[in-house]
Amino acid sequence: MVIHPTPLHQAVILEMQPILDNRGYFVRSFCKKTLDDHGISFDNVQSNIAYNRNHGTLRGMHFQLPPYCEDKIVSCIQGSIYDVIIDINRESPTFGKWFGITLSENNHMSLYVPKGFAHGYLTLSSNTSIHYMVSNYYAPSYESGVRWDDKTFGINWPLEDNLIISEKDKQWQNFNMITDGIILS
Ligand SMILES: Cc1cn([C@H]2C[C@H](O)[C@@H](COP(=O)(O)OP(=O)(O)O[C@H]3O[C@@H](C)C(=O)[C@@H](O)[C@H]3O)O2)c(=O)[nH]c1=O
């Protein structure tokens, strides 16, 4: 696994390295030691798979509030997605900035999303499956989010029309840079 920086504080890209043979490939999808060696302590307590039937499905932008903030490792194991994170950690040097990357079954990239980030994605193909590991348990009453199309961040989504979005995700509010955000310390 090769670890690449992103423009956002503490968020990194994990590039998996498949070993090919005549049957297909083998790839290590998570290695605690490699992350530890890079100063990332990831304690996986739950792993999830989300399946999306249609191209143009958007889920986001989600986070859990303290004390249930979570680190995530997001991978696309079928199809492809545009994966987006926003740094909403008030104490971060990149507070308010966003980053996006295509994750696909072919490019073997995963995104490590630290606590204090909002996360979401848009499917770029039909029949898309996302696998993500999280470092905290699901806590429905601590769920929160911001709007995917919040002008505060100006996310450059590859598609913006006729998206499939849950009623819950349509109801998130815009972010206020003065009053909103997470304080982890
Ligand atoms: C996230 C989650 C949902 N659920 C339930 C609640 C609901 O009935 C159903 C679907 O939930 P949601 O609509 O919140 O699923 P979804 O929109 O896929 O939520 C996910 O979106 C991505 C972008 C993330 O970053 C994740 O952390 C998570 O928030 O699954 C669980 O039981 N456990 C979980 O850990």
Residue 101 DSSP one-character state:
E
- Whole-prediction pTM: 0.97
Residues 6+ apart with CB under 8 A from 36: none
Residue in 9, 62, 131, 142 annotated catalytic: 62
DSSP-H helix ranges across 67-180: 167-170
Residue nearest to atom 10 of ligand 1 (CA): 50
| Per-residue pLDDT tens listing for the chain (185 residues) | 999 999 999 999 999 999 999 999 999 999 999 999 999 999 999 999 999 999 999 999 999 999 999 999 999 999 999 999 999 999 999 999 999 999 999 999 999 999 999 999 999 999 999 999 999 999 999 999 999 999 999 999 999 999 999 999 999 999 999 999 999 98
Contact in structure between 141 and 36 (CB atoms under 8 Å): no
In residues, how long is the chain?
Answer: 185
* Third-level CATH fold of 2-170: Jelly Rolls (2.60.120)
In this structure, the residues whose C-beta lies within 6 A of any atom of ligand 1 are 48, 50, 59-60, 62, 119-121, 138, 166, 168
